[in-house]
Every structure is written in structure tokens, then in C-alpha cells.
Structure 1
Amino acid sequence: MPTLTPVTGQVVTVCFATGDDADWFAASEKVNDLLHANGTPARRYRVRHRRIIGWLTRFIGYYLLDAARRFGAVTMAAGGRKSRLDLTGTAAKAAHDAALRWRAWHTHINATTKPARPWEDYLAQHHTDPAKVSLAEARRRFEQQPRALAMLAHGVDPYELSVYQAGEATYVGLHWRIALIGDALITTDGRLLAPTSDSVADRFRFLNEACAYLHGLRSSARLCAVAIA
């Protein structure tokens, strides 16, 4: 069964069927009921503007939740009707940004340091024998590796090491999926989809399932991204 321990910074995507009450309060209730956590709207989605009447929809926030504007035009939203959210554009922007990060890592860190053991290996040592290897000790051992230290020095998250070392396509693929889904998804019928563990493989399994579910929703369904406060 999927599990999710809510922590600050996690994002949950809440889905609503056509005709359901789909405002911010309804999304908050679903998150609280399933995760016993409170949250705030997360403006993660780019907004779609239709070509024919794009000049008009650009300035109207109908069917959107917590929309943000730039020079009067609606640009981002925490959610809304699926047909009004530019999910393709949201994923493309995340993929572009992730590719730039990976290439910078490849140039400045991968080319100058030896491969390192990922955090998951040290975390497994802690789980195997917590008395012998505390969580703090596991973290110390991981971060003392030259490649992990280099990532810290360059402001790159060393706990994503395994994904960086898996290659550009894997790193980019993870992050465009995260941009659409976040850390968990609540379906229209109230089911919680979440990774079964903290491993990257389980995150990919969850994200693939959640992306397929999102793709299968009708265009009139609504979404809301909630950041755990």
C-alpha cells in the first residue's frame, strides 16, 4: 500500500470529477482526511490560452484556482479545469530546467569527481542496524564523499545523486513528472496514490501510474495542487 508521511514542502495533487465541488476548501478537506495535514495552494501549472480567443482568455481567470497574473495576464495557477491548464507546457518547462541542471552537474561535478555511492545505500545501512549506524552517521558517511561534497559546494542537492548518475534522460524524466504530479495524488474517488518507499524506482512507478491517471481524466475534470504547510 502507498504511504506518505507529510513533510513541509511536499505537494499533493487533488483530482475532482466533473460536477464535483472543486474549490480550495474541498481540496484542503481531502488532504486533511487522507494525510491529516494542512496545506496551501501551490501555483505549479502554466495556463492554456486558446488560439482563437486567446487575447480574451489571457485575462480571464475562469475555471482556475488561485491564479497568478503578470501584467494583467493569467500565467500560473494552483489548479482548475484540466482543459484550462497547460500540462504539456508545464512538463516542457520542467524538462528544460532539469536538462540545464543536469548538464551543469555533468560539466562541473561529474567531470571532476569519481562516482559515489548514493544516499539510498547509506540509508539502507541505517535501516539494517540503527544501533550501529544512526541516521546522523549515515548522513555523515554519505556527505563526506568527494562527489557529494562537490554537489553541496555547488548548491546542488546531493540526495538526488542516484538520479544524476543515472543520466540526463532519467533525471529529466523524473522532474517533468514531478512538475505535473508532485509527491502524491488523490484520485476523484478518494484513493491516495503515493510511492511505496523512498527509492527512486518506486517514485518512478508511482509517477508513471499518476501521470497515466491524470492523462485519462476528462478535460472537464479539475485539479488542485496543495503544498503541505
Structure 2
Amino acid sequence: MPTNSPLTDQIVTVCFNPSDDADWFAASEKVNDLLSANGTPARRFRVRHRRFIGLLTRFLGYYLLDAARKFGAITLAAGGRKSRLDLPGMSQVAANEAIARWRAWNMHINATTKPARAWEDFLAQHHADPTKVTLAEARRRFEQQPRALAMLAYAGGYVFDPYELSLYQAGEATYAGLYWRIALIGDALITTDGRIMRPASDSLADRFRFLNEACAYLRGLNSHARLCAVAIA
């Protein structure tokens, strides 16, 4: 996503220092001020329950934002103190789901079709000469490839996005690596000092650069720092 493009249908992770007011209103104000966008809380964080006091914390919503319950127990939240959020669990679940999806793709698509050119190649043709190769024509050329068609036609237990073809073809570790990072960060991150971190472009390489930097920043935050996930629609 280009740095000057608006954020729509995206997740922004907002970070606060331990001493800051870190409620939903403060998070939405930061998003509005820095991104000129309105959002809603996104209950995407798994909640951590400690081994010895888990029976107690399972039902208490202290240091959490917009917590969701199932049978009375807290399962998800839109944010809260970093130490109360199960960030390792989130990344592991996302990695496992991505690995299962990639392996299904490898069995049903990769093993039965020839490698195809990625969407980015056809998009570059469009940008090089929009009058000769319209966006619709670029999509037609990309989607008529047997591998892209097979991904669209697959009717099993997974949905294979042909526009992620370059990511699938990069291998299992790369595919899962993107998704566990996205689970932690989302699409952009606002630091405690008001900096915006997001990809420089739509390219996979730039997305990985951003996510690596954002994950390192998240790891370095104090355990009492607060996080809030905001969905911008």
C-alpha cells in the first residue's frame, strides 16, 4: 500500500505508553488525527490466562479493551496491556492456519498445474502502457492462466486467492511468515510517539519490511504498554 494512500478496510494497531490514557476513545482519536479516518474496535487479540491464576483472570476484564466473552470467560479483546494479550498464541494460530492452507494449495494446485506469472507482472504491463493494456485486460490475461483458473475453481475447504500467487509460489515458510506477522500487527501501526508505520508500497517485499520492523517494535515495548486494534472500513 503506498504511503500516501488512504487506509480502508484495514487494521491499525495503536500503541500507548504504560502511563498514557489508553482507552478506545484515545485510540480512535490517534487514528483520526494521523490517518484522517474513523474506525471501530477490532476484537482480534487473544487473551492470555496465566497458569496459576488463570481461573481468576479468565473471568476478569482488567487491563483489557472491549473484551468478548464465551460462556462467561474472556476469549478475545480489541486491546489492552501487552502482558495480558497472548501475542505468541496469536502468531502460532495464524501460522498453523496458513501452513494448512498452503499445503492444501500445494497438493491440489501446485502439483497439478504449471507455475504461472504473478499478478504483479501483468499490473506492471498496465502501468507501462495503460492505453494498450487496460486494467481489465491485465486481469483477463492473468486469470486465464491455468494455475490462476485452478485456484479460482477450487471448491474444497479453502479459498485460494490467485492474487496471492507470488506468495504461494514463494513457499510454505514465506506464506506462513506473512500471515503470522499480519496477525500481530495488521496493516499499519501507530507508535507510542505518534509515528505511522506501514508498507512503502503494495509489493510483498515492502510488506515484509514493514511487518519485520513493526514486529521488532512490538517486541521492544514494555510489558505494561497498551495496544488497541482499530478497524477502518
TM-score, length basis structure 1: 0.96
Alpha-carbon offset, residue 131 of structure 1 = 2.1
Runs of 4 or more above 2 Å deviation: 4-9
Asked if 1:83 corresponds to 2:83, the answer is: yes
Q: Deviations over 1:154-211 (max 9, x none)?
A: 2311111111000000000010000000111110111110110100011000000000
Q: Output the amino acid matched with 2:68.
A: A
Choose which of 148, 154, 170 in structure 2 pairs with 1:166. 170
Q: How big is the alpha-carbon RMSD for the aligned residues of Structure 1 and Structure 2?
A: 1.2
CA distance in 1, matches of 2:21, 2:63: 12
CA distance in 2, matches of 1:91, 1:102: 16
Partners of 2:94 and 2:183 within 8 A in 1: yes
Q: Corresponding residue for 1:67? A: 67
TM-score, length basis structure 2: 0.94
CA distance in 2, matches of 1:205, 1:162: 16
Partners of 2:7 and 2:35 within 8 A in 1: no
1:1-20 residue pairs with structure 2 within 5 A?
3=3, 5-20=5-20
Q: Corresponding residue for 2:190? A: 186
Instruction: Evaluate the alpha carbon distance shift between residue 4 and residue 170 of structure 1 in structure 2; reply closer, same or farther with a 3 A threshold.
Output: farther
CA distance in 2, matches of 1:147, 1:4: 33
CA distance in 2, matches of 1:35, 1:130: 30
Q: More displaced, 212-221 or 138-147?
A: 138-147
Q: Deviations over 1:19-58 (max 9, x none)?
A: 1111111111111112211111111111001112110000
What's the secondary structure of 2:100's corresponding residue? helix
Partners of 2:185 and 2:211 within 8 A in 1: yes
CA distance in 2, matches of 1:141, 1:39: 36
Q: Corresponding residue for 2:100? A: 100
Q: Corresponding residue for 2:120? A: 120
Consecutive unaligned residues of structure 2, counting only runs of 5 or more, are none
CA distance in 1, matches of 2:112, 2:7: 34
CA distance in 1, matches of 2:180, 2:214: 13
CA distance in 2, matches of 1:8, 1:26: 20
Q: Corresponding residue for 1:48? A: 48
What's the secondary structure of 2:116's corresponding residue? coil
What's the secondary structure of 1:122's corresponding residue? helix
Asked if 1:214 corresponds to 2:218, the answer is: yes
CA distance in 2, matches of 1:97, 1:216: 26
Alpha-carbon offset, residue 7 of structure 1 = 4.7
Q: Share of identical aligned residues, percent?
A: 80
